[in-house]
Amino acid sequence: MAKLTVNDIDLKGKRVLTRVDYNVPMAEQDGAMVINDDTRIRATLPTLKLMIENGAKVILTAHLGRPKGKRVPSMSLRPVADKLAGLIGKPVAFCDQCVGQAAEDAAAKLEEGGLLLLENVRYHAEEEANDATFAQQLACDADVFVNDAFGAAHRAHASTAGVADVLNARAGQCVAGLLMERELQFLGDELKSPESPFVVILGGAKVSDKIKVIDRLLDKADTILIGGAMAYTFKLAKGLTVGKSLVERDKVTIARDALDKAAERNVQFLIPTDNIVAVPTEIDGKFAFGEHRTNDSENIPDDVEGVDIGPKSAARFCEVIAGAKTILWNGPMGIFEDARFAGGTFAVAKAVCEATANGAKSMIGGGDSVKALNKAGLGDQVTFMSTGGGASLEFLEGKELPGVAALTDK
Ligand code: AMP
């Protein structure tokens, strides 16, 4: 990787400002906010442990939710400090400010190997505005900036890009944490010249979110498998009917262009030939799916909506996945949140894990595919699961992420 990492620098006694992704799901329980899923906190432990062992004074910054520049108590990072302390097995100081005297005093008290978590940076509108003065305050007396928040690296905010500018200006080092390093390795280096057959599986809601990824990967992939609602826009592009399925009619032309490009480049491009369909209806005034069945045809009848790939398509997709040496998967095959429509996604998840056990490298591009794998209890059976949703998509599109660009080159 072309960027310096925490492994490349001396951390002893240094004040290390560390941007992490602690944007964890929380819910109120008996008047207190409780963390529902601590995956993102756990994901930072290797970097934190390494820094602690090397005698760094670690100052953590993060955002939580969208408080839009205001102090919203339910979006405080305080519960995260407690959770982190439990996971890492040592105290984590918390400061209810992220800049100013209180934050500076808390940082000054840190001993070597100590941890301090600052309050939600998005309590200040200056964070998202990448305000230079705010970045200066955040960077304060830091000697080093570590960015381990891949999930926030596609935003040029004060805590991701601004502080790096401050450190760079004073000749301080800006380095990738271990989690960020892995993201850049697997979504970047490993996909530069992937071992063939390279199978790309894309699903989810919208073609528009992923068309740039498709376009870029058409240069490298041997096969592209399309599921989810995305597939119906491709069906329209092929002149098939889609019934009441979710489609983007204004994206039919770009879908057709992608199909043409795939044909020109000899890339196998598969969309489902059968689907699970359901009748969209209303129950108690709310949208719901009524009766569902397998529609064993490429065309979807007028009165139903496609909600998952069908069993024949799932079997065909799994067969292709079984022969892969490199796999990239982003997006579910259907509305997997509803157990009735999760079959296609879970079949693909299982096939990806089996191929991995047989020696393929599998990269899961974040977001809902990670959720689906975890839901199926298969999260530990793939080569790499990205912690970024939007960031992984932008990175896969080939964009330079501001949070990465700001790091010091090797
Ligand atoms: P994305 O964030 O683009 O990966 O989209 C994930 C969402 O796509 C999930 O919430 C799925 O429920 C949804 N999705 C997948 N397949 C379908 C479908 N056939 N119709 C509607 N939504 C779908």
pLDDT (tens, 9 = 90+) of the chain, 410 residues, equals: 589 999 999 999 999 999 999 999 999 999 899 998 898 999 999 999 999 999 999 999 999 999 999 999 999 999 999 999 999 999 999 999 999 999 999 999 999 999 999 999 999 999 999 999 999 999 998 999 999 999 999 999 999 999 999 999 988 899 999 999 999 999 999 999 999 999 999 999 989 889 999 999 999 999 999 999 999 999 999 999 999 999 999 999 999 999 999 999 999 999 999 999 999 998 888 889 989 999 999 999 999 999 999 999 999 999 999 999 999 999 999 999 999 999 999 999 999 999 999 999 999 987 788 889 988 999 889 999 998 888 999 999 989 999 999 999 98
Is residue 198 within 8 A of residue 218, CB to CB? The reply is no
Asked, colleague to colleague, whether 6-179 and 186-396 share their fold, the answer is: yes
Alpha carbons 57 and 115: distance in angstroms, whole number: 7
Q: How far is the CA of 59 from the centre of ligand 1 (A)?
A: 37
**What are the structure tokens assigned to 69, written together?**
């520049």
User: Where are the domains positioned within the chain?
Assistant: 6-179, 186-396
Q: Residue 59 forms beta bridges with which residues?
A: 17, 116
Alpha carbons 354 and 360: distance in angstroms, whole number: 9
Q: Residue 29 forms beta bridges with which residues?
A: 32
> Ligand 1 pocket, 367 CB below 6 A?
yes
Cα–Cα distances (Å) from 264 to 236, 267, 403, in that order, read 20, 8, 36
Q: Which residues are catalytic?
A: 40, 206, 367, 390
Is residue 12 within 8 A of residue 56, CB to CB? The reply is yes
pLDDT tens sequence across 157-205:
999 999 999 999 988 899 999 999 999 999 999 999 999 999 999 999 9
Output the residue whose Cα is nearest ligand 1's atom 5: 204
Q: How far is the CA of 313 from the centre of ligand 1 (A)?
A: 17
> Ligand 1 pocket, 365 CB below 6 A?
no
Residue 331 CA, closest ligand 1 atom number: 4
> Ligand 1 pocket, 206 CB below 6 A?
yes
Q: How far is the CA of 341 from the centre of ligand 1 (A)?
A: 11
Alpha carbons 47 and 33: distance in angstroms, whole number: 26
Compute the CA torsion angle 117, 118, 119, 123 (nearest 10 deg). -140
> Ligand 1 pocket, 368 CB below 6 A?
yes
> Ligand 1 pocket, 204 CB below 6 A?
yes
Residues 6+ apart with CB under 8 A from 171: none
Output the residue whose Cα is nearest ligand 1's atom 2: 204
Q: How far is the CA of 398 from the centre of ligand 1 (A)?
A: 23
**Residue among 401, 398, 402 at smallest CA distance from 214:** 398
> Ligand 1 pocket, 388 CB below 6 A?
no
Cα–Cα distances (Å) from 356 to 273, 331, 371, in that order, read 26, 18, 18
Alpha carbons 271 and 128: distance in angstroms, whole number: 39
CB atoms within 10 A of CB 281: 11
Is residue 261 within 8 A of residue 218, CB to CB? The reply is yes
Residue with tokens 């992608």: 258
Alpha carbons 310 and 145: distance in angstroms, whole number: 49
Q: How far is the CA of 161 from the centre of ligand 1 (A)?
A: 31
CATH class of 186-396: alpha beta
Among 304, 317, 368, which residue has the most ligand 1 atoms within 8 Å of its CB, making it the best to mutate? 368
Alpha carbons 47 and 53: distance in angstroms, whole number: 10
Output the residue whose Cα is nearest ligand 1's atom 6: 204
Alpha carbons 117 and 360: distance in angstroms, whole number: 39
Per 3-state DSSP, what percentage of the chain is helix, strand, and coil (rounded to 5)? 40, 20, 40
CATH entry 2.60.40.1120 includes domain 6-179: no
Residues 6+ apart with CB under 8 A from 73: none
DSSP assignment of 223-255 = EEEE-TTHHHHHHHHTT--BTT----GGGHHHH
Alpha carbons 20 and 301: distance in angstroms, whole number: 48
Is residue 174 within 8 A of residue 408, CB to CB? The reply is yes
Cis peptide before 46 (omega within 30 of 0): no
Q: Within 116-177, where are the H helices?
A: 125-128, 132-139, 163-169
**Residue among 175, 169, 177 at smallest CA distance from 132:** 169
Residue 306 CA, closest ligand 1 atom number: 19
> Ligand 1 pocket, 338 CB below 6 A?
no
SS3 call for 193? coil
Output the residue whose Cα is nearest ligand 1's atom 10: 335
